[in-house]
Every structure is written in C-alpha cells, then in structure tokens.
Structure 1
Amino acid sequence: MTIRFAFYGRVSTEDNQDPQASRNWQLARSRALIDKHGSVVEEYFDIGQSRSIPWKRRPAASQLLDVIREGARFEAVVIGEPQRAFYGNQYGLTFPVFVHYGIGLWVPEVGGAIDPDAEAHDLIMSVFGGMSKGERNRIKIRVRTAMAAQAHVEGRFLGGRPPYGYRLADAGPHPNPAKAADGRRLRVLEPDPAAGPIVKRIFAEYLDGLGIFTIAEGLTRDGIACPSAHDPARNRHRSGAAWSKGAIRVILGNARYTGRQVWNKQRKDEVLIDVDDVALGHESRLRWNDQDAWVWSTDVVHEPLIGVDDFQNAQDMLSGGGRAKSRTRERVRRSYVLRGLVHCGVCERRMQGQWNHNRPYYRCRYPREYALANTVEHPGNVYVAEDDVLPALDGWLAGLFEPEQIERTVAAMVRSQPDARTDPAAADAKRIIAECESKLARYRAALEAGTDPALVATWTAEVQAHRAAALARVRNHTRTQQQPMNETEIHELVEALGDVRAVLGRAAADDRAAVYRQLGLRLTYAPELRTVRAAIEISAHSWGYGLCPRGDLNPHPLIRGLAPQASASAIPPLGRHDLSIACW
C-alpha cells in the first residue's frame, strides 16, 4: 500500500538562514526516509517562527492540525528534522492529536513511523525536545555573552537606531572574514551636525537649573525639530509637533552621550501567555534592566557630547539628589474596556487611561506633556468617564439588532463581507512574489554574464527570503479566508447570540474590548460640548482577514465569553454607523 504523506518543516530566519535551502534539505531528508513507502502530497513549512512557539501558534503547523481534525487527505506526517519541529514538551502535546485521528508520524531518528506504544520511541522524541530547548538556550547564552564582551572590551556598536544627536558612520569591514566577504561593514556613532549641539544645549540648560518642561518649551519656541520630526521616516507613529518632557528626560538619561558604548539597558523576558493554559507557550516582553546590569565599554569609542561629570550630575538631579523616595508605588494593572479607542477632540491624540475614585477615566494632558509654545488652545486636562460611555454605547450596538433594525443590519453585513479576490494584503504579497521572481531571473542572467558568484549568491538569498515570507502570507490568507455568509446564516448567528446588550455586559473586559476593536470603533470626546462621538466603519478586510501591522502571522484565539453557541469573531462587519453620547 502506498502511503500519502504530509511534510512539515520549520526555519527561523533570525540567524540569516536561507528559507528555500532549509526547506529543500529538510524535504530531501524526509523523502529519503519514505521513498519506499509513499510520497509527499502536501507541504507545510513555517518561516521565521521560533521553535519555542507552540504548534497552535505557528501558521503552517496550526493549519496542519486543522486539516487533520477536519479530515486529512494523507495518512501520515513526515518531519525531516524533529529538533526544528519540537521544542521542550511540544511532542507530548502534539503527537496524541495525531494518534487520536489515526495519523502516523515518521521521523528519521526512529527509522520510520513512531510507535505510540513504544516506550523507546517516546523517550527518543522527548530527548530531542529537550535537546532542542537546550540548544536554543545555549545559543542565547553564547550570543548574549559575545555581545557583552564586544560592547565591554571592543566598544562595538551592536545595531539599532542611533540616539538623537548621533548618526552612523562607516568603521571598516566586518572582523568576521565570511561577513566581510559578503560586504558587511562595522558602524560607529558620530555626532550629528544638526542634532549634536541640541543635546549639549539640553544638558547645559538642565545643569543651569532649568526644568524639563521649560527646556522643551524653549526648543519648540526656537523652531528646533524634536527627535520624531528630525527623523520622521523612523518615527511615523509620532506627530513631531513639539518637544515633549519624555524626550528631554530620555536624552538626559542616555549614557552613550559620554562617548562610551552602553549595552543591556533592556532585556527580553519570556512570560506565559495564559497561566491557565501553559500549552500556549510564552511571549517576549521588553523590560528595563537596573543600571547595575548595564554593560559599559572600558574606553571612549566615539566622540562624546557630554562629559562624564556633567552626565552624572544630571543623573543626580533627575533622581532628586540621590535621596531615597519617601514612598514606593505598587504597580497595579487596571482593565480599560476602551483602551486605545478614545480620542481627544481638540488634538486628535489617543486619550490615556486614568483610574480615579475607583473608576476608569480617559484623559488627555497634551499641554502638560508637549511644549506647544502657546500655539494650540488646549485645556490642561481633558477627562471623560468610562461609565458615562459604555451604557449608551452597548445600547446603541444592541439597537442595531432590534426587530425594526435587524433586516437593515443583516443586509449591511452581507454587503460588507470580504472578497478574497480583492484582499489588498494577499494582492500585495502576490505582487512581492512576482517582483522577487523577476529579480531572480535577472540575477541568473547576471551570473551567466560573468558577475561575481558570491555577490549574486548574496542577492539571491535576500530575495528568496522576501519571496518565502510573501508565500507564507499568501498561504496564511488562504487558510484564514472565510466563505461569505448569506442572510439566513447571519440571522441564525445573531439569534444564537441572544441579547447583545446582556452578552456584552457579561463579557470579560478584555473580550469586550476586543469586540469594540474588531468593530472598528472610534470614540472622539469634545470637551467643550461634553459629548462623545462614536463611529464604526469596517472595511471588507478588517474583521480578521488582514495581517497585524507589526507583521504577526500567528493565529489568535477567538473571542471568549460572548455566547455558548456562537463567537463574535464569526459575525461579518457592520458597515458605517455613528452615535453621539452626552457625558455629564
């Protein structure tokens, strides 16, 4: 009997691996194993996914599990490199699913199919999971130790954007011969002719006794571009309107202005996504290290803008002269249902969550954070209470599903469902694939014309990585693309939800917030009218069909706690609606 196999592989591009080459050798190893037993009929390959990410959060692996649950067109899965597929206890969490659905698992390390009743096979796979975890930890320790030594002993610039006041300059070929052959160069910080004098001015004025806000006002009044306006291409999320207190404080606390390289100011901590579901794995969180953990270069490695004594005096002034604080604050995480959705009607900035009198509020303190030099009329504080908004907001949303409105709402939902043929994310990925294939054809022609093979290989590897990432986006879109629903199906789904107002009222704060975000809700508070303007406007591709703007390709769980029979993530978008809410 000929066995139909699905191939699964994974590659991480963090260490500049070639996704296409990695796929090819993993697939070749798999085919060598199953050559006399069958052939590969389907392929699932994750690109750019860390091995520590569980299967259910990897796009291709998650798709493979979904296919197995829904009825696979193959009898077994073959993996060419188990250490790339399984990390830690992932084998123990994944293989039982294969056994339950009658799907075999073949790996070279056991010479064929894994026997679920064989203790030796289970031990071997568990060992490989532990080895995979150990290998990743060893790499992490080795890389961090090497970077600490490079920063401390060599004072090497280890990447990232240069701090305001500096720019990057060439420092010669890379000391690693292989990287130097590929054209890699070292970089070093040098003073920025425009921004460097501003850093000196900030320190001088602060040491002369001017406050942070006064310094920000003076710079704004003199027409000096703030950091986000000085480099707008790398700060698209900032308005660049004026200097802020935060920008001044960050500059005053940056030790690299003394001419020494400083590394390890931040670290990545891996925290559990859900303490009640450890199988979901961890996610990385950036956190600040104590100053004692910073790694300083022993020598001055770039031109200093500030003397060491001036820098230390500024740190003493920032910390209140070194005196201990009279009290400590315990950080408490508050739940804000409308976090990121409420905008100030005066300056259009997002309002911040603020907990007052045991109630959640949203506030805008633009004039207290940014030096506007009296160019914008803005109240010192703009406040709106969450409790004043939610009842009217939920009632408005529930009203869209009342008997007199349901037909109109359902018709709008039917019209606004996405069309896979016009999805801009998928179309953009396909455009990138076509461009990459055109470039590869030109590179082959250049190679045949006598261009340096090493140079062509570098170009080809880069283009192949872009092409592989675009292919992954296309596959992910194909997997997540839902079929349009007709009016009858939408009616049944809405009826399953029941009382929308009650459902929203019972939902957990995070789930409720997710509903509002997926609806495309935007709230704008006009303080002079004490009115909140609410609007939802969802395009055909904004209800779970696009990609995260940060490039996250991992599948996310559906919204919980809304109804036992239906999930709100299955409801098509509503189109555009508006509401005016009075707040007193």
Structure 2
Amino acid sequence: MRFAFYGRVSTEDQQDPEASRNWQKARAQTLIEGDIVTEHFDIGQSRSIPWKRRPEANHLLNALKDPDRGFDAVVIGEPQRAFYGNQYGLTFPVFVHYGVQLWVPEVGGQVDPESEAHDLVMSVFGGMSKGERNRIKIRVRSAMAAQAKVEGRFLGGRPPYGYRIVDAGPHPNPAKAADGKRLHKLEPHPETAPIVQRIFTEYLDGRGLFAIAEALTNDRIKSPSAHDRARNQHRSGIAWSKGAVRTILANPRYTGRQVWNKQRKDEVLLDVEDVALGHATKMRWNDPGSWVWSASVVQEPLIDTDTFERARTTLAGGGRTRKTRERNRVRRTYVLRSLMYCGVCARRMQGHWNHDAPYYRCRFPYEYALANKVDHPRNVYLAEHEVLPVVDHWLTTLFTPGRLDTTVRALYKSQTDSTPNPSTTEATRVVAECDTKLARYRAALEAGADPKMIATWTSQIQTQKAEALARVPAIPSQPQRMAEEEIREFLGTLGDIHTALDEAVADDKSAVYQRLGLKLTYQPDTRIVQAAVNIDTRPHSHGPRARSGHKNNPTEIPWGYGTCPEGDLNPHAR
C-alpha cells in the first residue's frame, strides 16, 4: 500500500521540529506494510486548531478529493498530536467518504469505521489531548504566578518604556543553566527613564495627555515605538500619541514591582453557527484585582507608589474625580474594515457610525502630536456607500472574459522576485553556525567538561544566534513566482465574482474582500480612492472562512495570487 504521513509539532512543545518529525515518522513506518510516498507535517500549529486551518492538514484533506492522489491510506504517528477534542469525529468521516484508510498505532493498524471500540479509542485520545493541553496551561500559569509573586522574576516580553533588559545571572534550573539559559531583569534606561518621570510629574501638575505628547514631540524626544524600532516595526514612530502617554501612566511596573497577569488569552469561536471552525485567541485585559504583584520591590523604581496611585486615580476618572466610566459598546458592520487606508499618513482608517450609516475616518492629529509639522487634515471622512458600488463594479470587470488576459498579465508582472535577500542568507548562515557550536558544547558537557565554562560559551553563542534571528523576521519572505498559465487556471476557480458580490450579505462580502487582498487608499485632497488587489494562493491559517453567494447558500472563495494595481477610483465622479 501507498501511505501519506501526517504529523504536527507546535511551538508550545519546545521541540526541535526535525527531531519531532523523525520520531513520529519512524513510529508510523513501523506500523504500516508499504511505503510512505508523501508527507504532510505542520510546524508551529497548535493542536487546538482544526484541520482545515492547519496548512499541511488542509492540503491533505484537499488531496483526499483527488482520485489521482497517489496514496491509498494516511498514517499518523501519534493521534494526540493530530486530533484534539472532537476533531477526530469531524475529520474521519471525510476519510471514509473518499475511501481513504486511516492508520494509527493505538489501534494496531487501520481504523475500522464500523468498530465502536476503535471509535471509542480515538475519541478518548482526542479527550486526552485536550486534557493534556489544559493541564499544561494550568501548570505553566500557576508556576508563572508564583515566580512573579514570590520571586519577582521577570517573565519575558518587551521591557516597558523607561527600562531595559539586563542579565541577572544563570538560570536556577541546573539543566537550563548548562544549556546557557540566563535570567533577566529590568533596570532604568539612562535615556528614557527621566522621560517617564517627567510624564508623571507634568500630568500630576495638571497638564493633559495631548499637551504632554505635544511637548515631548516638540523637544525631539523619540516616542516609544521610535526608540525601540526592532520591537515596533508595525508602528510609524512619527510622533508621541496621547495613547502612549496614557499607557505609561497606567503601568504599575514603574513602582519597582513585578506585575503579571494584566492580560489573558481567551479562545473565542470564529463562527458560532459553525463550531467546527474552531477558536481564535483574543488578548483581553484582566480586572486590576486579578493582577499578580511581586511581594517586594525587585527593580529600581522610577516613581513611588503614591505618585502612581494618584496618577491612576486621575486617569481613571478622565481627569476628574470619578474612578470609572461605563461605555455601552454596539457592534456595527463595516464591510471595508481594515481595508481602508488614509493616503496622508498611511494608517488604517477607523470605522465610525454617523447618521445611521458607516463611515471611515482618520483622526491622526487628534491622536498624535503635530509639533513635527505633519501636514494632515484634522479629520478625514469617507462614506462607505460612496465607495462600495464602484469597488464592486471594478472587481467584476477585472475578471470578465474580455479583461482576463490583461488581469493575468498584470498579476504576472507584479510578482516580486523570489531571489534570496543577502541579509537573510547571512543571518541563516550565522544561525546554522551557532547551532553547530551549541551541539559541540552539549557533547563536551556530556563528556565531562567544566559546566561553568560551557555555560559561558553557550551564553555567548545564544546571544549571537538571537541577534541573527532578530534580523530574519524583518525581511519579508517572497512567494514562489507563478507562470501566466498557472495564474489563469487559478483565476478560473474564482467563479462568478459579480454574483458573489451582488448577493453576499455584509459580513460575507467583507470576507470576500479580505480573501481578494483588497486595499483601498483614500486621498482626501483629491477625494480619490486608489484600489489594489493582492491575491495570495498560500493557505490562510487563521481567521474566518471567506464565503460568497447568498447567506443561505454560501460557497467557498479560493485564493488568488500577486498584486494587480488598477487606476484611480473616484466615488464622487459617477
């Protein structure tokens, strides 16, 4: 028989992906009678993510539909890694439908779809997988809470503005210390610590958030995102914002105590009407009463506790005496959410409900200090109903038979060159050399070398490796180029875009725009909207599925590829 192998390793497992793949495949190989002809191995995907949202698992599901798939069965080395909770019950019927066998070691071979015992065993392993993940979460959170409260240990993450991370000695765990792991702590940054103290002083003296931001920008003091560009590449850093000032005033770590559990990760259903899509992780703020404070001061404080409490009380009252302010949130539907950009500052425009209709606005001067003389209108407004009809018409004409040749050529020419970036190549080389040296140090340690000397060497190499890895994410990866015929063939799977956009409800239409990679840039001076499509064939591993058609009869919209710029769209010139 011909087999396809499936395995998975996540970043939560703290395992070497190649080593994990090898032992899972070896376990699968000893079970089967035949050859493994193809492999699907997900790296960095949590077990809680459903198969359709794991890139390699989704490829495998799609391969099942192909009569010329090239394999007769699928073998899994460890079912706990493949199935979580009720995923087996949602996935195995697909195998049965397409006549593909599933083999796992825990049942001694092929899973019999008619066997209640096999069904029970696989369901139990799914439950065990879910229980194991939950137990790990509980243990880790309990340990981190104790380390923060009792030891005041710095538990990682970016340092607050005003502090920097410094070495705090070897790790207390001997095994981790032998691997070069070090503890870290916070110490005042010589350049930014006085700025934090200035912010608290001026705020308690009666100066407002915006006035403080304006003064800091006017004095040419770098904002937090401009000061630490490596950790804030997603922000412009053009000026201080009142939001940055507010965040500093609300951060209790400036009192010298370690504070943990300010935020939590909640798993929220992507679609309450389709539970099989799984959950998405959302970061949410915890109530201050559940924050974990260190029992003692563990780092040099920038302000005293009384100063912080007075600032927090004033801030919570909106500058007045009341401590809380209630807001009733109403969920509005914005079809172009996250797709509309301001042509002046290049920031995403915010959805704003006005006169019972959706609008998009950019209030850059309201949020950021303008002492840097940025030429930006105080408010940039655009009505959604002025844009949607023109965008829909443009998209439908873009993929009509008469325009298809032009669209294909534009997509082909717009593809970026996939030639490796020299900086990426150099960083990859450094990482490989560091891994080689670390392997030698580990062998020397096992052979009886001095642990202190090995720990020193390992720490130096780990630092070099971290610096090299930090340079890699800043360089965007380039997709593989596609030929014109491949693009044309793929565009043929898009279906009738006109019908999809004409009949889709608001949420589904927004999902279609997301899948098409639509980006709209509004130029307020000329009142022109520029539109571009960036269609990507790579699988989408998060977020809701995109659907088209009527809400009662949705159809999947696949991915496209490349960037296809089009001329200006002027919603005011019909």
Q: TM-score range by the shorter chain?
A: 0.7 to 0.9
Partner of 1:68: 64
Structure 2 counterpart of 1:51, one-letter code: R
Aligned to 2:161: 164
Which among 544, 548, 553 is matched to residue 536 of structure 2? Answer: 544
- 1:119-138 to 2 correspondences below 5 Å: 119-138=116-135
The aligned amino acid for 2:50 is P
CA contact (8 A) 1:413 1:573 kept: no
Correspondence 1:195 to 2:195: no
Given that residues 98 and 105 in structure 1 are in contact (C-alpha distance below 8 angstroms), is that contact kept between their aligned partners in structure 2? yes
Contact kept? 2:399, 2:407, Cα under 8 Å: no
Q: What pairs up with 1:488-507 in 2 under 5 angstroms? A: 497=496, 500=498, 503-507=500-504
Moved more, 230-239 or 436-445: 436-445
Distance 1:158 1:324, change over 3 A: closer
Deviation at 1:579, TM superposition (A): 2.5
Tell whether the 8 Å contact from 1:344 to 1:524 is kept in structure 2 after alignment. yes
Cα distance, 1:41 vs structure 2: 2.3
| 1:408-443 Cα distance to aligned partner (Å, 9 max, x none) | x222123234599x87569679x8699569937993
Aligned to 1:532: 528
1:372 deviates by 1.1
Unmatched runs of 5 consecutive residues or more in structure 2: 448-453
CA drift of 1:532 comes to: 2.1
Tell me how far 1:521 sits from its aligned partner.
4.4
The partner residue of 1:577 within 556, 562, 566 is: 566
Letter in 2 for 1:443: T
Q: Letter of the aligned partner of 2:114 in structure 1?
A: D
Q: Deviations over 1:242-272 (max 9, x none)?
A: 1111000000000000000000000000011
Choose from 439, 443, 450 the match for 2:436.
443
Q: Which residue of 1 aligns with 2:450?
A: none
Asked if 2 retains the 8 angstrom alpha-carbon contact of 1:559 and 1:569, the reply is no
Whether the 8 Å contact between 1:416 and 1:572 is mirrored in structure 2 is no
Give 2:286's aligned amino acid. N
Q: Would you say the 8 A contact 1:413–1:572 is kept in 2?
A: no
Q: Could you tell me how far 1:335 is from its partner in structure 2? A: 1.7
Give the 5 Å matches for 1:91-490: 91-320=88-317, 323=322, 328-373=326-371, 375-398=373-396, 400=398, 407=402, 409-418=403-412, 439=432, 443=436, 447=440, 484=485
- Pairwise CA distance, 1:65: 1.6
Q: Percent identity?
A: 57
Q: In 2 relative to 1, CA 89–195 (structure 1 residues): closer, same or farther, beyond 3 Å?
A: same
My pick for the range that moved more, 337-346 or 69-78, is 337-346
Match of 2:49 among 26, 50, 53: 53
Structure 2 letter corresponding to 1:136: R
SS of 2:172's partner is: coil
Aligned to 1:484, what secondary structure does the other structure show? helix
Specify whether residues 555 and 483 from structure 1 end up closer, same or farther in structure 2 by C-alpha distance, changes over 3 A only.
Answer: farther
Tell me how far apart the structure 2 counterparts of residues 264 and 544 of structure 1 sit (CA, whole Å): 37
Aligned partners of 2:409 and 2:484 also within 8 Å:
no
Give the 3 Å change call, closer, same or farther, for CA 178–104 of structure 1 in structure 2: same
Alpha-carbon contact 1:151-1:297 (below 8 Å) kept: yes
The 10-residue stretch of structure 1 (182-191 or 379-388) with the greater mean CA deviation from structure 2: 379-388
* 1:55-114 Cα deviation digits (max 9, x unpaired): 121122222222122123222222221111111111111222222222222222222222
Farther-moved stretch of structure 1 (334-343 vs 294-303):
334-343
Distance 1:428 1:413 in 2: 28
**Aligned residue number for residue 451 of structure 2:** none
Check whether the contact 2:335–2:506 (CA below 8 A) recurs between aligned residues.
Answer: yes
Q: Distance in 1 between matches of 2:438 and 2:148?
A: 42
* Per-residue deviation, 1:184: 0.7
1:414 and 1:485 in contact (8 A); partners too? no
Residues of 2 paired with 1:372 and 1:54: CA distance?
A: 47
Q: Secondary structure at the match of 2:237?
A: coil
Letter matched to residue 4 of structure 2:
A
With structure 2 as the length reference, what TM-score do the two structures score? 0.85
Question: Taking structure 1 as reference, are residues 88 and 345 closer, same or farther at Cα in structure 2, changes over 3 Å only?
Answer: closer
Question: Deviation string for 1:159-198 (max 9, x for gaps)?
Answer: 0000000000110001111111111110100000000000
- After TM superposition, give the deviation of residue 578 of structure 1 in Å: 1.4
**From 38, 42, 65, the counterpart of 1:42:** 38
Structure of higher RCO (CA pairs closer than 8 Å, 6+ residues apart): 1
Secondary structure at 2:103 match in 1: strand
Q: Deviation of residue 345 (structure 1)? A: 3.9
* 1:295 alignment partner AA: V
In structure 2, the CA distance between the partners of 1:19 and 1:555, relative to structure 1 (3 Å rule), is farther
Q: Which moved more, 1:371-380 or 1:309-318?
A: 371-380
Which SS does the other structure have where 2:63 is aligned?
A: helix
AA matched with 1:577: E
Matched residues in 2 for 1:486 and 1:383: separation?
37
Q: Output the CA distance in 2 between the equivalents of 1:287 and 1:333.
A: 17
Q: Normalising by structure 1, report the TM-score.
A: 0.83
SS where residue 575 of structure 1 aligns?
strand
Q: Is the 8 A contact 2:538 2:559 kept in 1?
A: no
CA distance in 1, matches of 2:148, 2:483: 50
Whichever residue aligns with residue 259 of structure 1, its letter is: G
**Distance in 2 (alpha carbons) for counterparts of 1:433 and 1:124:** 49
Q: 528, 532, 549: which is aligned to 1:561?
A: 549
CA distance in 2, matches of 1:221, 1:129: 59
Q: Separation in 1 of the partners of 2:519 and 2:2?
A: 50
1:318 counterpart letter in structure 2 = L
Cα separation, partners in 2 of 1:92 and 1:345, compared to 1, 3 Å: closer
Question: What RMSD in Å do the two structures reach over aligned CA positions?
Answer: 3.9
Distance 1:104-1:294 versus aligned 2 partners, 3 A rule? same
Distance 1:561 1:250 in 2: 44
Instruction: Give me the whole-angstrom Cα distance separating, in 2, the residues matched to 1:242 and 1:133.
Output: 46
What is the DSSP-based 3-state SS (H/G/I as helix, E as strand, rest coil) of the residue aligned with 1:300?
Answer: coil
Closer, same or farther: CA 116–426 of 1 in aligned 2, 3 Å: farther
CA distance in 2, matches of 1:286, 1:205: 31
